Chains A and B, each alone.
Chain A
Amino acid sequence: MTIYYLKTPVREEEVRRLRVGDIIYVSGVVVTARDAAHRRMIDYVKEGKTLPVDLKDGVIYHCGPVVSKKGGGWEVISAGPTTSARLELYEPTVIEEVGVRIVVGKGGMGPKTAEACSKYGAAYVTFTGGAGVLAANAIRKVIGVEWLDLGIPEALWVFETENFGPLIVTIDGTGRNYIEEVVERAKAVKSKMPTKFTQSTFP
């Protein structure tokens, strides 16, 4: 396991170096995107329109933050990750067409994303689920917000972060998928367990 401190934009060779189980901290620009934003990004790509935020070599975060208006700007109250599995439908296209290098979420993603990561040089990393205050604490400021018509949680929030992490590399550029490996191992362990309770529990 190695710890890396990365700055955005992230270059391909920096991502290719990462291996599952490594821990990274990201400083720079991080953009939130959930289901609706992913869908719209893909529509934009199809129609050949430019995205309002440049995500080439960028970082996407599966997160619907809790924000409040403060003065003329926004304050982030809590910004923990949302379940990434739902975005498996869109993420491979976004990695391929938009050139995203790092995808942050929780809970793991599927084989299509793993394939896109290895093909185009990207990584899927997880932030500790529920740790919304800790995430908000790494956000220095809100640079901007786009697509607010999708609602606050679904909009593209552009954050400036400082050492956002710990983020655990869960899918790396070789296509390894850590959570899937853990679950497969757990299934194998279970299949070898005796089906009955021990004598000492139920004599």
Chain B
Amino acid sequence: METIRRAVISIPPDIKEAIRKAYLEEDGEVAKAQLKAILDNIELAEKLQRPMCQDTGTIIFYVRVGHSFPAIHVTEEALIKAVRRATQDVPLRPNSVNPFTSANTGDNTGRYIPFIHWEVIAGEELEFTVVPKGGGSEYPAVLKMVPPGKGVDAIKEVVLDAVLQAGAMPCPPTIVGVGVGGGADIAMVLAKKAASLRKVGTRNEDPVLARLEEELHKLVNYLGIGVMGMGGRTTALAVHVEYAHRHPANYPVAVVFQCWATRRATATVKPDASYTITQ
């Protein structure tokens, strides 16, 4: 619950730094004014302890659980309860709607929601990252199964088209997450992790992918869509690429956007239930 609160109120330091840097580098007055508004908003949210954006998103958890973490069997229930309490106490906007009846559950839980990604690791601790993901930034996500014959150049096409299509929708400056390979679902999961989990300022450890990220970042910003689609140098704070090996007949390319209001916080829980929160 405290981790969710932290995530929606305080922006992670890497994002704040990236926005501040963009503010200094922009020379257009319109872009500068909006980056200033974003920075002021971030400060005010901290000061007043209020969610930085009114869309507190759909709650996603990325859990890494140690094989001998003693409370493993109640973890799922505890996370769901935390979402209910955070909805009341922070408060969060109720964003969980039945796709067929449009009925809102009112507490940000529902079928498969919050969604929990599980990973089992060695050890006795539990680590989880919560990502409240805004609706506007999720809307322009794209998955393309490109003809494998087109090869890597298709990635460029898919990413640039997605950014053009997205325009001002995901509240740029964004982080563009790109997932390549695996399969339709795997590419999408990788793209979202690349957008929302990876820290801005980090590069892919594979030098070829690191260069790919840099070139894509340059090209995306060269389009000139800019802050809130009003033109300028900064459309994306970063482009992150992750990949999985693919089937010879498939070449999935997924693009997921993370808006400037990147909400993420990580808790590490010890076997005695003491915890620390980092961002």
Interface residues of A (CB under 8 A from B): 1, 21, 23, 64-66, 68, 77-80, 83, 106-108, 126-134, 136-137, 166, 168, 170, 178-179, 182-183, 185-187, 189-190, 193, 195-198, 200-202
Residues of chain A within 8 A of B48, CB atoms compared: 133
Q: B29 an interface residue at 8 Å Cβ cutoff?
A: yes
Interface secondary structure of B, over-half rule: helix
Complex A-B: 19 CB contacts under 8 Å: A23-B29, A65-B54, A66-B51, A78-B50, A78-B53, A80-B54, A83-B136, A106-B168, A127-B37, A128-B41, A130-B38, A133-B51, A178-B230, A178-B231, A182-B225, A183-B229, A186-B164, A190-B160, A201-B215
- Across the interface, A134 reaches (CB within 8 A) one of B41, B55, B134, B223, namely B41
Apart from the given pairs A23-B29, A190-B164, 11 other A-B contacts in the complex at a CB distance below 8 Å:
A1-B29, A65-B54, A77-B54, A78-B50, A128-B38, A182-B225, A183-B229, A186-B164, A195-B156, A198-B215, A202-B208
Q: What is the CA–CA distance of A120 and B172 in the complex, to the nearest angstrom?
A: 31
- Taking a contact as CB atoms under 8 Å apart, the answer to whether A201 and B211 are in contact is yes
- Across the interface, B41 reaches (CB within 8 A) one of A83, A133, A202, namely A133
- From known contacts A133-B45, A134-B44, A190-B223, infer whether A107 and B53 are also in contact, taking CB-CB under 8 Å: no
Q: What's the minimum C-beta distance from A163 to chain B, rounded to whole angstroms?
A: 12
- Taking a contact as CB atoms under 8 Å apart, the answer to whether B224 and A186 are in contact is yes
- Taking a contact as CB atoms under 8 Å apart, the answer to whether A108 and B229 are in contact is yes
Residues of chain B within 8 A of A66, CB atoms compared: 51, 54, 91, 93
Give the residue name and chain of the A residue nearest to B214 (CB): A201
Q: B195 an interface residue at 8 Å Cβ cutoff?
A: no
Interface secondary structure of A, over-half rule: mixed
Q: What is the CA–CA distance of A64 and B161 in the complex, to the nearest angstrom?
A: 30
- Across the interface, B171 reaches (CB within 8 A) one of A129, A136, A200, A202, namely A129
Q: What is the CA–CA distance of A178 and B229 in the complex, to the nearest angstrom?
A: 9
- Across the interface, B212 reaches (CB within 8 A) one of A168, A178, A197, namely A197
Residues of chain A within 8 A of B227, CB atoms compared: 128
- Across the interface, B54 reaches (CB within 8 A) one of A21, A132, A137, namely A132
Residues of chain A within 8 A of B225, CB atoms compared: 182-183, 186
Residues of chain B within 8 A of A200, CB atoms compared: 211
Q: What is the CA–CA distance of A176 and B64 in the complex, to the nearest angstrom?
A: 51
Q: What is the CA–CA distance of A117 and B171 in the complex, to the nearest angstrom?
A: 24
- Across the interface, B224 reaches (CB within 8 A) one of A136, A166, A170, A189, namely A189
